[in-house]
Amino acid sequence: MNHSTKEESRLRRETSQLSAMLKAIPKAVTILFILAVIAMNFLARITLVSLPWLALNAGILISWLSFLLMDIVVKHFGAKAANLLSLIAIAANLLCCLLCVIASRIWDYPELDMVVGGQWSILLASTIAYIVSALTNNYTNVFIGRRFRRKPDGAAAYAVRSFLSTFLSQVVDNFLFVFLAFWVFPYIPSALQIRWTIPQCLAASVLCAVLELVTEVIFAPVGYAVIKRWKEKEVGRDYLEKYPTET
């Protein structure tokens, strides 16, 4: 089998798994996850707090939800399924931004320009940060989960793996995003001209991660209840039988 044939075969397998995953994960979770990622990226361009030592953007209001949903998917379907779902959400966000750009060219509305102006820099920064943080969250979650030999499906195991992976991935996500969007890219004239200092980027990364972790802790019982219900109802059984994974 030559290289091109192997690549085609691998692509078919990946496409088949993606299709099976979309059928397995409840539609409400997929839709809510995609909406959370889109909303998070649009809100991220709005600065809520700007102090010499700290800056916060509005993305913090919704980012916790995407990571809570990722932890639920990781626990039940595995890290790869969560990675695929993250890629779908990113693609949906790219499409949404493209539609906004097209709309801004067709209709001359200042309000729309406020939403999409300089959007490429926010989009690129958020995409890079989200891909890295999603991989960090999903594989850290699985790694920690495998440390629980006794009661791996218990509430304590779910809490520890979710909280630690969320905090680490949120620090990564927040720092990469604000560093790129508000420190690196503003040197480019066409980018969004909002500048943060390095101390602001560092402080925001840690503080946002703490606040997002607190939010996830509050809603963790909901996430654990969803996982228990999925297991009892054997949600996605066909997918899990075809693509078994240690979660």
Indicate the domain borders of the chain.
17-48+56-242
Looking at residue 104, what is its pLDDT?
66
Contact (Cβ atoms closer than 8 angstroms) between residue 165 and residue 71: yes
Looking at residue 242, what is its pLDDT?
85
- What is the CA angle 36-42-129, rounded to 5? 75
3-state secondary structure of 121: helix
Looking at residue 26, what is its pLDDT?
93
Looking at residue 73, what is its pLDDT?
92
Looking at residue 228, what is its pLDDT?
92
Give the separation between CA 171 and CA 97, rounded to whole angstroms: 25
Burial class (CB within 10 angstroms; exposed 0-12, middle 13-18, buried 19+) of 233:
exposed
pTM for the predicted model, two decimal places: 0.80
Q: How far apart are the first and last CA of the chain?
A: 33
Query: Cα–Cα distances in Å, from 186 out to 8, 181, 191, 224?
Result: 41, 7, 6, 41
Looking at residue 109, what is its pLDDT?
61
Q: Which of 26, 88, 79 is nearest to 226 (CA)?
A: 26
Beta bridge partners of 50: 55
Q: Which two tokens stand for residue 200?
A: 């602001």
3-state secondary structure of 48: strand
CA dihedral (85, 221, 152, 89) in degrees, to 10, reads 10
Beta bridge partners of 49: 56
pLDDT along the chain (247 residues), means of 10: 62 83 92 90 74 71 86 89 89 80 67 56 82 89 84 83 88 88 83 80 84 85 92 89 74
